[in-house]
């Protein structure tokens, strides 16, 4: 088990470097650069800028310089936001995204899991149909539609909540709900499907045959097996959520990482793009590892050699 985790951890480094390298090539292939605008720069100014950022060196030197910086965890300064290091920017904006993302996932877990379990236990009841239809609606309405509808109703119609921006708890409600909706729906459906399958399996029958109370059957055996699909979904989902979601951050003007990432790409801000990509890829790999390890605890049949 330990060696499995160690091996996986070690793979993260070359994987991240590979991701960064591919991204670097893609950025270089994309037309345009960070300093070019509508006005053509006088050659003198362009040369000064290229010199200042080391763009006058041959490409392989630039690549290895970039790679060695990345290995040391130093992505350098943002090209667009002068005097700011990429690490500072990520450190500063991650908490906004992480707060919204974690809260959204918490809400989604509570509502989605309960709805899924209840629906599975009362299969074909009106609750089952009702909750699954709502979940389908949640899945079908994209958040760039849901967000504005929430704003229209709660901020501009009823004036209950602020329409956008970071601030107090009231500012969190709409973005968290918007973000949670789709995950809530996914989780409810996954849980229901997982639970239905598990509750029909042989070991549940054995548990019942042993004379365990229905609550014990459900809590000790049913849920543990039933939420395995939920756990596999959680890894990448949580990584993505914590690292920022572009649409919700833009609609609600939240200064999170997703917003910054999009701006970085549009600005061709190479160090910032690389920094966020590397951070995201490592985050996703770590979450996947955690998920894989947790399988072993949830289902004794899964073991790693």
Using CB under 8 A, pick the residue from 197, 232, 246, 255 that binds other proteins. 255
Specify which residues 284 forms β-bridges with: none
> Which residue matches tokens 């959204």?
104
Residue 38 makes contact with other proteins by CB under 8 A:
yes
Residue 57 makes contact with other proteins by CB under 8 A:
no
Using CB under 8 A, pick the residue from 1, 137, 219, 302 that binds other proteins. 137
Read off the tokens for 300.
């004794």
Query: Which of these, 78, 76, 59, lies nearest to 21 by C-alpha position?
Result: 59
Q: Is 85 helix (H, G, I), strand (E, B) or coil?
A: strand
- CA geometry: angle 30, 32, 33, nearest 5 deg: 105
Calculate the alpha carbon distances from 250 to 53, 144, 217, 218, 256 in Å: 30, 9, 45, 42, 9
Stretch (H or E) spanning 251: helix 246-251
Residue 259 makes contact with other proteins by CB under 8 A:
yes
Q: How far is the CB of 187 from other proteins (least distance, A)?
A: 18
Residue 43 makes contact with other proteins by CB under 8 A:
yes
> Which residue matches tokens 């969190």?
172
Q: Mask of contacts with other proteins, 170-209, x by CB under 8 A?
A: ----------------------------------------
Using CB under 8 A, pick the residue from 16, 19, 24, 33 that binds other proteins. 33
- CA geometry: angle 290, 243, 278, nearest 5 deg: 80
Using CB under 8 A, pick the residue from 14, 60, 72, 82 that binds other proteins. 82
Q: How far is the CB of 96 from other proteins (least distance, A)?
A: 8
Specify which residues 77 forms β-bridges with: 85
Read off the tokens for 84.
């700011």
Residue 92 makes contact with other proteins by CB under 8 A:
yes
How many residues line the site for other proteins (CB under 8 A)? 56
Rg (CA), the chain: 24
The region of 2-10, 30-38, 117-125, 221-229 touching other proteins under the rule CB under 8 A is 30-38
Using CB under 8 A, pick the residue from 2, 73, 126, 159 that binds other proteins. 159
Round to whole Å and give the CA distance between 259 and 96: 11
Calculate the alpha carbon distances from 35 to 50, 52, 258 in Å: 9, 12, 22
Q: Which is nearer to other proteins, 51 or 220 (CB)?
A: 51
Q: How far is the CB of 200 from other proteins (least distance, A)?
A: 25
List residues binding other proteins (CB under 8 A): 30-33, 35-45, 47-49, 51-52, 80-84, 89, 92-93, 136-137, 139-141, 145, 148-149, 151-152, 155-156, 159, 162-166, 250-253, 255, 259-260, 263, 266, 268
């Amino acid at each position: 088990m330990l060696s499995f985790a160690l091996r996986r951890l070690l793979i993260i480094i070359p994987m991240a470097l590979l991701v960064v390298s591919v991204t670097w090539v893609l950025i270089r292939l994309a037309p345009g650069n960070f300093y070019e605008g509508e006005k053509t720069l006088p050659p003198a100014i362009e040369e000064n800028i290229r010199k200042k950022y080391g763009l006058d060196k041959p490409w392989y030197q630039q690549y290895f310089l970039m790679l060695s910086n990345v290995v040391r965890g130093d992505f350098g300064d943002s090209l667009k936001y002068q005097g700011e290091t990429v690490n500072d920017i990520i450190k500063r904006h991650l908490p906004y995204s992480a707060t919204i993302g974690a809260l959204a996932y918490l809400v989604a877990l509570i509502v989605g899991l309960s709805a899924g379990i209840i629906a599975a236990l009362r299969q074909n009841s009106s609750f089952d149909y009702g909750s699954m239809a709502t979940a389908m609606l949640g899945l079908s309405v994209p958040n760039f539609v849901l967000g504005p509808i929430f704003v229209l109703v709660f901020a501009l119609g009823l004036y209950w909540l602020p329409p956008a921006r970071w601030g107090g708890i009231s500012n969190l409600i709409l973005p968290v709900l918007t973000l949670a909706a789709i995950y809530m729906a996914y989780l409810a459906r996954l849980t229901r499907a997982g639970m239905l399958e598990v509750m029909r399996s042989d070991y549940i029958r054995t548990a019942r045959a042993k004379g365990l109370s229905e609550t014990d059957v459900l809590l000790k055996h049913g849920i543990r097996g039933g939420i395995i699909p939920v756990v596999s979904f959680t890894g990448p989902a949580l990584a993505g959520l914590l690292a920022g979601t572009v649409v919700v951050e833009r609609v609600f003007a939240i200064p999170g990482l997703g917003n910054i990432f999009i701006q970085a790409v549009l600005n061709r801000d190479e160090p910032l793009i690389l920094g966020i990509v590397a951070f995201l890829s490592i985050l996703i790999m770590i979450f996947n590892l955690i998920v894989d390890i947790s399988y072993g605890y949830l289902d004794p049949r899964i073991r790693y050699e």
